[in-house]
Amino acid sequence: MRYPLIVLILALTALAGGFAFVEWSKGGSGAGLYSRHWSPEAVQGYWDPATFYQSPDSVQGVFKGEECVQCHEAVTPGIVADWRNSRHAKAGERVWCSGCHGDDHQRLHLPTPAVCGGCHGKQHGEFKAEADFGFPSHVLAMDRALSAPHFVDKPKAEVQSCVQCHSVATKCDSCHTRHRFDAAEARRPEACITCHSGPPHPDDETYFASAHGRLYRAEGDQWDWSKPLVKGNYKVPTCAYCHMEGGRHQVANKSLWKFGLLEVNPHTAANKALRRDWVGLCGDCHEAEKARQWLSDLDRERKQAWKMLNEAEAILKGLRTEDLLFPAPEERPAYPLEQRPRAHIGFYEGQASAFYNVSAVERDYFEMWYFDSLGAYKAAAHGDWARISKGHKGMAASLEKIRQQAGSLRDLKIVEQKAGIEASTEGLWQRGAYTDYNRDQN
Kindly report, residue by residue over 293-351, the tens digit of the pLDDT.
Answer: 999 999 999 999 999 999 999 999 999 999 998 888 888 877 667 777 777 787 666 55
User: How far does the chain reach from its first CA to its final CA, in angstroms?
Assistant: 52
The shares of helix, strand and coil residues in the chain, as percent rounded to the nearest 5, are 60, 0, 35
State what percent of residues in the chain have pLDDT above 70: 91
**pLDDT tens digits for 165-206?**
999 999 999 998 899 999 999 999 999 999 999 888 899 999
Q: What is the pTM of this model?
A: 0.88
Amino acid at 91: A
Lowest mean pLDDT among 202-211, 241-250, 309-318, 348-357: 348-357
3-class DSSP state of 53? coil
Q: Report how far residue 141's alpha carbon sits from residue 118's, in angstroms, rounded to the nearest whole number.
A: 22
Q: Could you give the domains of the chain?
A: 182-252 (no CATH), 290-441 (1.20.850.10)
Distance CA 40, CA 28 (A): 10
How much is the pLDDT for 206? 96
Mean pLDDT of 146-158: 78
DSSP 8-state assignment for residue 329: G
∠ CA 118-136-31 to the nearest 5 degrees? 65
Q: Are the C-beta atoms of residues 251 and 130 closer than 8 Å to each other? A: yes
DSSP E strand stretches across 262-356: none
Q: CA 114 to CA 341: how far, in whole Å?
A: 41
